[in-house]
Amino acid sequence: MTYKQSKSYFAVLAVILCAAVPVPAQISIVKVTGGTVEGVVKDGIASFKGIPFAAPPVGNLRWRAPQSVKPWQGVRKAYDFAPGPMQDTGFGAVLGGPQIISEDCLYLNVWTGTEKAGEKRPVMVWIYGGGFGIGMTSTPTYDGANLAKKGVVLVSVTYRLGPFGFLAHPELSKESGKGSGCYGMQDQIAGLKWVKENIAKFGGDPSNVTIFGESAGAKSVGFLVTSPMARGLFHRAISESGGAVAPPVLSLREAEAQGKAYLSKLGADDIKTARTLSAEKIQSETKGMGNFKPVPDGETISEDPYELFETGKFNDTPVLVGTNLDDGGLFLTQKITGEAFEQYIRNKYRPGAEEILKAYPHATDAEAMRSAKDAIREFSFAWSTWNWARLQSKYGKNKAFVYYFDHRTTASPDGSSHGAEIPYVFDNLGKAGQGGGSGGPEDKVLSELIISYWINFAKKGNPNGPGLPVWPAFDGKEQKTMFFDRTPSARPHPNVDKIKTFDTHFARLREDAKTKK
C-alpha cells in the first residue's frame, strides 16, 4: 500500500497545506551592513540575491579569515546570484547550477514573505554540500522561495572551497598565531554573524536560527555544533547525510605538509608568491572534489569532536539528523567482486576488519556490490550520524531526532541516493540538480510532510505537530527513527549492528589523531 493510499493521506495533506497560503511581501528595500539592497518580489516572496557579507577574499586577503564587508553607495540591486566559489566546473555541473565562478564569492541570499521588519519569523540558514570541493548557492534545488512561503526566512551562504577554503600551510599558521586551513568554515561563521546582525530587517528572528545542510554542508553543521567560534549564532541544527563526530582526516601538521606540496606544484615556495598567482592557477591542480577538508586549526575546530561531546564542550542545541538508504551508491563508481570487497575491507579497516566482513554478505558479486554501498554509507555517513544522536541524547540538555530517507522512485528502485531528499526539503521537485522525484502526487505529499517536520523543528526545536505521524526523540535505549518511505512512521534505527562494527576502526583513528598533534 502506498502512502497516498493510506487512510491518513488526505488528512495529513489538508493539515499541511493549510499553512501554505502565501502572504504578500512588502519588504523589497533593506538597509544592511555595508549599504542598502533591493530585492525582487514575486508571488508574495521577496528574494535578495548576492548580498555581500564579507570583503572579497582576493589578493592579500586570500587564505585569511573573512574581513568586514566593503560599504557601497546607493542602492545595490540584489536581483541575481553572485558567482559561486572557485571549483572544478566540469564536475560541479552535475548539481545543475550556472557554472559562473570567482574567487570573489562571499555573498549570501535571503528569501522572505514578511510584510514588515521585526516579525520574528524562524530563520533557516542553508549550507550546501559537495565534498568541500564543489557547490554553490545558485543550484536550482536550493531555491528558497517555497520554504519562505511556509513562514520562515530562508538564507543560503557561500563559502570558499578546495585550496581556497581549506589549504593549510606553516606560514599561514604563523600568520594567524594558531592554525590554518579552515577559511571555508570561517566564511560560514561570518555569514551567521551577518544573519544575527541583519535578519530582523527581513522579518527574521535572530534568536531563532536553524542551520541545515547536506553532505559536506551537514558535516559543516557538525563542525559548527562543536566550534567555540559559532557559539550563540544558531539555536537548532539539521544534518542531512553528514555529521562530524569522526576524527578529522588530517592533523594540522599533515595538512600543512599537504599545503606546502600543493603550492610547490604550482611553483610557489612561499605564501607571498602564492598570493600573486591567478585563481585559475591555484585551482588548476584540483580536479573533481579534490582532497582539501577542514582541519583542526586550534580555533575554528579545536579538538576531537567525539571527545568534545563527552566533555560537554559543544553548542548544545536540538538536533535533527539522518541518512539515506543508498547514501553510499553515488561513491561506488565501478563493479566490485566478493574477493575485491574482502580485500578492500581488510586493507582499510584494520583492526576490526573481521567483524565488518561478518556483518556484510559478499559471497556473490551481487552481495558484494550491495555490501560495498552499505559499508560506504555506514563509514562515511551513518556511523557519525548515529553517534551524534547518541552523544547528544546522553550528554546534551536538548533532544535529538533521527530520520531514515528511503523514498523509492523509478530512478531509485533500490533506495534513495545521496542528496535525494533535498528537493523534498525545499519543495523543488523536478528542478535541475540533486536527486528528487518527479513531482507527482506521492512525491508532493512526502515533500509537504518533510517540510512540516523541518519547519516545526525550526520553530520550536521539535518536529512534531498536529496531524503528523508522531516522531519520538532519539534515546540510547529505543533509538526510534522516523522512516520516510511509502508509509512514514517511527521504527527502530536501521543497520545498528552494521554501524557498530566500525567502532573499533574509529576508536583507532581517534587514538592515532592524538599522536599526530
Q: What pLDDT digit, counting tens, does each position of 364-419 carry?
A: 999 999 999 999 999 999 999 999 999 999 999 999 999 999 998 887 888 899 99
The residue type of 73 is Q
How confident is the model at residue 68, as a pLDDT? 98
Q: Is the pLDDT of residue 188 over 90?
A: yes
How confident is the model at residue 97, as a pLDDT? 67
What span, in angstroms and rounded, lies between the C-alpha atoms of 145 and 426?
A: 8
Contact 479, 403 (CB under 8 A): no
Contact 146, 422 (CB under 8 A): no
Going by pLDDT thresholds of 50, 70 and 90, the confidence category of residue 22 is very low
Q: Is the pLDDT of residue 17 over 80?
A: no
What span, in angstroms and rounded, lies between the C-alpha atoms of 302 and 178?
A: 10
How confident is the model at residue 7, as a pLDDT? 40
Q: For 41-84, give the DSSP string.
A: EETTEEEEEEEE-S----GGGTTSPPPPPPP-SSEEE--SPPPB
In this structure, the number of other CB atoms found within 10 A of the CB of residue 71 comes to 9
Of the options 2.40.40.20, 3.40.50.1820, 3.40.50.2000, 2.40.220.10, the CATH number for the domain spanning 9-334+399-468: 3.40.50.1820
How confident is the model at residue 91, as a pLDDT? 77
Percent of the chain with pLDDT over 90: 82
Q: Is the pLDDT of residue 429 over 90?
A: yes
Q: Cis omega before residue 351 (within 30°)? A: yes
Please give the average per-residue pLDDT across 349-365, as a whole number: 94
How confident is the model at residue 15, as a pLDDT? 47
Going by pLDDT thresholds of 50, 70 and 90, the confidence category of residue 435 is low
Going by pLDDT thresholds of 50, 70 and 90, the confidence category of residue 432 is low
How confident is the model at residue 413, as a pLDDT? 84
How confident is the model at residue 25, as a pLDDT? 56
Q: How many residues does the chain have?
A: 517
Q: Is the pLDDT of residue 193 over 70?
A: yes
User: What is the grid cell recorded at 461?
Assistant: 526545536
More confident site: 464 or 12: 464
pLDDT tens-digit profile of 204-259?
A: 999 999 999 999 999 999 999 999 999 999 999 999 999 999 988 899 999 999 99
How confident is the model at residue 10, as a pLDDT? 41
How confident is the model at residue 436, as a pLDDT? 57
User: What is the grid cell recorded at 403?
Assistant: 530520520
What span, in angstroms and rounded, lies between the C-alpha atoms of 339 and 355?
A: 16
How confident is the model at residue 468, as a pLDDT? 98
What span, in angstroms and rounded, lies between the C-alpha atoms of 424 and 405?
A: 11
Q: Which SS3 state, helix, strand or coil, does residue 18 take?
A: helix
How confident is the model at residue 85, as a pLDDT? 97
The residue type of 438 is S
What span, in angstroms and rounded, lies between the C-alpha atoms of 402 and 381?
A: 13
Going by pLDDT thresholds of 50, 70 and 90, the confidence category of residue 514 is confident
Q: Is the pLDDT of residue 433 over 90?
A: no
How confident is the model at residue 57, as a pLDDT? 98
Task: Indicate the Cα dihedral angle 170, 176, 180, 182, nearest 10°.
Answer: -170
Domain coordinates in residue numbering, the chain: 9-334+399-468
What span, in angstroms and rounded, lies between the C-alpha atoms of 179 and 38?
A: 39
pLDDT tens-digit profile of 276-330?
A: 999 999 999 999 999 999 999 999 998 889 999 999 999 999 999 999 999 999 9
pLDDT tens-digit profile of 28-50?
A: 999 999 999 999 999 999 999 99
Q: 213, 214, 200, 209: which is closest to 233 by C-alpha?
A: 209
pTM (predicted TM-score): 0.94
What span, in angstroms and rounded, lies between the C-alpha atoms of 69 and 36?
A: 13
How confident is the model at residue 308, as a pLDDT? 94
Q: Is the pLDDT of residue 496 over 90?
A: yes
What span, in angstroms and rounded, lies between the C-alpha atoms of 139 and 141?
A: 6
Please give the average per-residue pLDDT across 136-159, as a whole number: 97
Sign of CA dihedral 499, 500, 505, 510: positive
Q: Is 129 exposed, middle or buried (0-12, 13-18, 19+ CB in 10 A)?
A: buried
Q: Which residues contact 200 (CB under 8 A, 6 or more apart)?
A: 117, 118, 120, 206
Please give the average per-residue pLDDT across 429-452, as a whole number: 81
Please give the average per-residue pLDDT across 177-202, as a whole number: 97
> How far, CA to CA in Å, does 391 sit from each of 101, 216, 220, 435, 479?
39, 20, 18, 30, 12
Please give the average per-residue pLDDT across 68-93, as a whole number: 94
| Summary mean pLDDT of the chain | 92
How confident is the model at residue 460, as a pLDDT? 98
Considering all CA atoms of the chain, what is the largest pairwise distance in Å, rounded to the nearest integer? 69
What span, in angstroms and rounded, lies between the C-alpha atoms of 72 and 219?
A: 34
CA 88 to chain centre: 19
Q: 243, 242, 289: which is closest to 422 by C-alpha?
A: 242
Please give the average per-residue pLDDT across 157-165, as a whole number: 98
